[in-house]
């Protein structure tokens, strides 16, 4: 029972750090996925006096992923249905060309501005519709969401680190006695701190596996999957290999750092 | 006779700089049995602490087992301490370890094989009449029993010098005799140098001993 309590405080602290870290990554990934989704639905319309080759338009800005010419038929139909066919053909020739440009990814407002300027450099392009107003709103909403989550993760991190430093004193006191006694019998530093480092690594492993388990459970939970489905994105909540290695690395580093602090702060009191 | 301890103009004080031991000179032959007495607060424990390098000093010189303790490196001190057997006035048992593991500590540090160490611990537990308490933790033992564990630990690795601070302070007549017999045995059979701080020197001891008395920061030879 006592030994469980010994482990608990560090494990809980580590788990909360790992959780907020992983949560941050999940949000980051969701936003990326969502941006991709948005970029599929978002496009810019360019109006040109004369016909342009797809490759030429693409060369204007690297953001442009695809170009589709919009057929003027719909416009003409609405204008007048009684027009003679020959007139319609003539009209078609004199009408400007409309191009729908799909983008490689969801751009920032600045990138849209640049895109606009690049396109207007071309002599033939006369008008651009970038729907920047609605774009801005969505983009700001995404940023807000991301910032809120980052802030939340940061607060959890700071609070946990403060708690750890408070606990550190208790751990220091607890390990000081044993390390002092071992030193009095001539144990070298590595032997004195071996127990501590073993404890730290075991705690880091426990914390990593608890986090792994929770996220693997979460990522297969139907409720979570449904949430992502609803907004039409597919997010890797927990990449068993990469994320686990990252989490393991972080938690082992933190606990080894803490153990080193205890060893450095050790004072022999007789 | 080889001198195992030589103190020259040794002065000792704690961080508050109050002088506890003032410029003392003494030497102790290898294989001798020495009692240190003195009033409470006279500096007996302080002197003992200096002998195992737990108290750094600014003035004088102190050589233990051929090693100068003034400004000693951590590595050398570790090496020296591995050959000392210390009984602390407050026992200093590791509370989260069983008494067996506590006794095993010096054996572990000195790199004994596991089975040799286990056998040695069993033997020592019998010697201090605690074999029935094997596997228990220090807090499950009486004060006197803990003191005997501390004695067993000090003897475990057959040290060159035993430094014992009031090792019978909490013991009845019978258990005290047990401790004296063990110290006598180590001194007689293994030629271990034994230095004991005590308030009462036992009467029926089978060794010739020296008696040093501490008073007003000085060390006097009584016999
Ligand atoms: N860690 C310390 N810091 C400052 N002063 C100390 C410290 N330990 C002991 N002293 C002081 O040093 C003096 C000698 O203490 P010491 O423990 O050596 O006495 P002692 O002879 O062993 O007494 P006792 O018989 O009661 O154990 C005392 O006046 C005590 O107040
Ligand atoms: Mg004392």
Over 70: is that where the pLDDT of B158 sits?
yes
Q: Average per-residue pLDDT in chain A?
A: 84
What is the rounded distance in angstroms from the CA atom of residue A79 to the CA atom of residue A147? 48
Between B213 and A35, whose confidence is greater? B213
Q: Residue A19 Cα, ligand 1 centroid: separation in angstroms?
A: 51
Rg over alpha carbons for chain A, rounded to the nearest Å, is: 30
Which residues 134-153 of B have a C-beta within 8 angstroms of A? none
To the nearest 10°, report the CA torsion of A38, A40, A42, A48: 160
Average pLDDT for chain B: 93
Verify whether the Cβ–Cβ distance A184 to B86 is below 8 Å: yes
> What pLDDT is stored for residue B56 in this prediction?
86
DSSP B92: -
Q: What is the ipTM of this complex?
A: 0.93
A186, B96: Cβ pair inside 8 Å? no
Least reliable range by pLDDT among A231-245, B33-47, B69-83: A231-245
- Chain B nearest-CA distance from A154, in A, is 37
Query: Residue B84 pLDDT > 50, yes or no?
Result: yes
Assess contact for B182 and B151: CB atoms under 8 A: yes
Top mean pLDDT of A33-37, A38-42, A45-49, B210-214 is at: B210-214
Is the predicted pLDDT of residue A81 greater than 70, yes or no?
A: no
Mean pLDDT of A235-245: 84
Mutation for B interface: A6, A182, A186, most B CBs within 10 A: A186
Whole-angstrom distance, CA of residue B138 vs CA of residue B94: 8
Band (B167; pLDDT cuts 50, 70, 90): very high
Confidence check: pLDDT of A28 > 90: no
Class of domain B31-42+75-222: alpha beta
For residue B50, the model assigns a pLDDT of 95
Residue, of A266 and B132, whose pLDDT is higher: B132
CA A10 to chain centre: 27
pLDDT tens-digit profile of B178-209? 999 999 999 999 999 999 999 989 988 888 99
DSSP for residue B70: T
State the Cα–Cα distance between residues B143 and B146, nearest whole angstrom: 5
Q: Is B48 exposed, middle or buried (0-12, 13-18, 19+ CB in 10 A)?
A: buried
Q: If you average pLDDT over residues B132-157, what whole number do you get? A: 95
Closest Cβ–Cβ partner in B55, B81, B92 for A186: B81
A189 chain-B contacts, CB cut-off 8 A? 74
Structure confidence by residue, pLDDT tens digits, A91-132: 777 778 888 888 888 888 888 888 888 888 888 888 888 777
**pLDDT of A1 strictly over 60:** no
Mean pLDDT for B117-127 is 96
Q: How far is CA B114 from the centre of its chain?
A: 25
pLDDT confidence of residue A2: 56
Q: Which domains, and CATH codes, for chain A?
A: 2-37+137-269 (no CATH), 43-130 (3.30.70.3040)
């Amino acid at each position: 029972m006592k030994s469980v309590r010994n482990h608990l405080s560090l494990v809980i602290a580590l788990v909360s750090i790992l959780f907020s870290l992983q949560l941050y990554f999940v949000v980051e990934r969701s936003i990326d996925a969502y941006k991709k989704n948005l970029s599929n639905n978002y496009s810019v319309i360019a109006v040109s006096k004369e016909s342009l080759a797809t490759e030429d338009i693409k060369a204007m800005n690297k953001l442009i992923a695809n170009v589709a010419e919009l057929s003027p038929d719909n416009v003409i139909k609405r204008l007048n249905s009684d027009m003679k066919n020959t007139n319609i053909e003539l009209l078609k020739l004199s009408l400007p060309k409309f191009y729908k440009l799909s983008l490689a990814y969801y751009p920032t407002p600045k990138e849209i501005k640049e895109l606009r300027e690049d396109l207007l450099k071309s002599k033939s392009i006369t008008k651009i519709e970038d729907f920047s107003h609605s774009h801005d709103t969505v983009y700001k909403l995404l940023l807000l969401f991301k910032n809120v989550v980052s802030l939340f993760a940061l607060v959890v991190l700071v609070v946990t680190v403060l708690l750890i430093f408070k606990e550190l004193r208790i751990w220091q006191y607890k390990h000081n006695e044993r390390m002092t006694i071992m030193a009095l019998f001539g144990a070298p530093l590595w032997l004195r701190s071996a127990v501590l480092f073993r404890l730290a690594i075991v705690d880091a492993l426990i914390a990593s596996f608890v986090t792994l388990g929770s996220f693997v459970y979460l990522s297969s939970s139907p409720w979570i999957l449904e949430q992502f489905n609803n907004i039409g994105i597919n997010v890797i909540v927990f990449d068993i290999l990469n994320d686990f290695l990252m989490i393991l690395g972080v938690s082992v580093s933190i606990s080894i750092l803490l153990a080193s602090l205890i060893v450095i702060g050790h004072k022999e009191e007789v | 006779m080889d001198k195992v301890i030589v103190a020259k103009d040794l002065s000792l004080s704690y961080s508050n700089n109050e002088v506890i031991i003032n410029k003392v000179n003494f030497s102790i032959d290898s294989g001798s049995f020495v009692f240190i007495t003195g009033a409470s607060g006279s500096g007996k424990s302080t002197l003992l602490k200096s002998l195992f390098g737990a108290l750094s000093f600014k003035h004088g010189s102190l050589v233990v087992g051929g090693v100068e303790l003034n400004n000693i490196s951590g590595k050398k001190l570790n090496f020296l301490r591995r050959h000392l057997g210390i009984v602390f006035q407050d026992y200093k048992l590791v509370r989260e370890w069983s008494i067996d593991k506590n006794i095993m500590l010096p054996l572990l540090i000195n790199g004994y094989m596991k089975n040799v160490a286990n056998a040695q611990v069993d033997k020592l537990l019998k010697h201090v009449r605690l074999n029935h308490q094997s596997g228990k933790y220090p807090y499950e033992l009486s004060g006197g029993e803990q003191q005997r564990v501390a004695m067993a630990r000090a003897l475990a690795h057959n040290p060159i010098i035993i430094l014992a601070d009031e090792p019978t302070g909490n013991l009845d007549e019978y258990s005290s005799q047990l401790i004296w017999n063990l110290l006598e045995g180590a001194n007689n059979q293994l030629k271990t140098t034994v230095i004991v701080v005590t308030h009462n020197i036992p009467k029926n001891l089978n060794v010739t001993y020296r008696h040093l008395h501490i008073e007003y920061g000085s060390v006097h030879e009584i016999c």
